[in-house]
Amino acid sequence: MKTNKLKMNPNNPRRIQPDKLEKLCASITNLPQMMTLRPIVYDPVTMHVLGGNQRLAAIRKLGMKEIPDEWAIAATDLTPEQQKEFVLRDNVQLGDWDYSVLDENFADFDLDDIGIELPSLSEDDLQYSNLHEEILDGADYFSVTFTISNKYKDKFYEIGKKAFEDAILGMMG
């Protein structure tokens, strides 16, 4: 199919930032099979893309003038109202990342390059207490008490586990 036959949906409720578009281009280049498994869905009458506007933008940015037919599928059985609903449902991202699973099973991937943003912690997210320089002077042991926002618990666990392992290895090495 010629890519110029497909039209970007002017009513697409989602936009893509330039840096994310670059990551999507890389995804299509590195794993083109993804397009067969998640084809662009379009209205066969208007040729407007119902699902995959960002993928179409990436394909065009990559300079592809033609794509395999299996990379695009016509939504022939949807009414106009169902097409509108499809546009919304296709763009909803309901799931959350399980950071411990990402760490344990996908650590060999550059998650940022793929487009998976890991949360970062700021000073505002951490509230330190009970850690005073005078307590640390001459102490063999010390404890730290702090509070962290629950939304960062998985990421903090991942960071804390890695820091603990590095500290233990450093003491043993």
Do 16 and 71 lie in one domain? The reply is: yes
Confirm whether pTM is higher than 0.75. no
Q: What is the pLDDT of residues 3-43, one digit of tens each?
A: 999 999 999 988 899 999 999 999 999 999 999 999 999 99
Q: Do the Cβ atoms of 60 and 28 come closer than 8 Å?
A: no
Domain stop point among 94, 124, 149: 94
pLDDT digits (tens, 9 = 90+) for 71-117: 999 999 999 999 999 999 988 877 888 888 888 888 888 888 888 88
Same domain, 153 and 70: no
Give, in order, the Cα–Cα distances in Å from 131 to each of 48, 53, 128, 142, 153: 60, 51, 7, 8, 21
Contact 27, 115 (CB under 8 A): yes
How do beta strands 40-42 and 49-51 pair? antiparallel
* Statement to judge: residues 19 and 46 lie in one domain: yes
For the segment 45-50, the average pLDDT, to the nearest whole number, is 97
Over the stretch 138-153, which tens digit does the pLDDT of each residue have? 666 656 555 666 666 7
Specify the number of domains making up the chain.
2
End-to-end CA distance of the chain: 59
Domain-terminating residue out of 94, 129, 163: 94
Give the residue numbers spanning the domain of 166: 99-107+114-172
